[in-house]
Amino acid sequence: MLNLLAWIVFGALAGWLASKIVSTNKRQSWAANVAVGIVGAIIGGSIWKFLGGGGFTGFNIPSLIVAVLGSIGLLWFIGWLAGPSNRSRRR
């Protein structure tokens, strides 16, 4: 149970940092930040391993960086899927 709570907190932090960088924080709820952070960590870790990087274990700065980068990629992809009409309305 404590491990699940740690993943939620880690995901929230990574998702929040990514949403601040991509400027989607005002449109996202805390639950979206958690989901983006956890999925972004999985994506970032998978890409890192595919590129030949070592595996990250635990909650540390390198893991957070990979999770944030994966979350940024996920947010960019979601924005791309939304299309140009949605992007023009946000400005």
- Structure confidence by residue, pLDDT tens digits, 36-89: 999 998 898 888 888 887 766 667 888 889 999 999 999 999 888 877 765 555
Name the amino acid, one letter, at 13.
L
Torsion of CA 12, 14, 19, 25, to 10 degrees: 20
Secondary structure element (H or E) that encloses residue 68, with its range: helix 61-82
pLDDT of residue 7: 80
- The predicted model scores a pTM of 0.80
pLDDT of residue 55: 66
pLDDT of residue 86: 57
Query: From the centroid of its chain, how far is CA 4?
Result: 17
- What Å distances lie between residue 71 and 1, 45, 51, 66, 89, CA to CA? 24, 11, 17, 8, 23
**Taking 80 as the threshold, does the pLDDT of residue 33 lie above it?**
yes
pLDDT of residue 85: 60
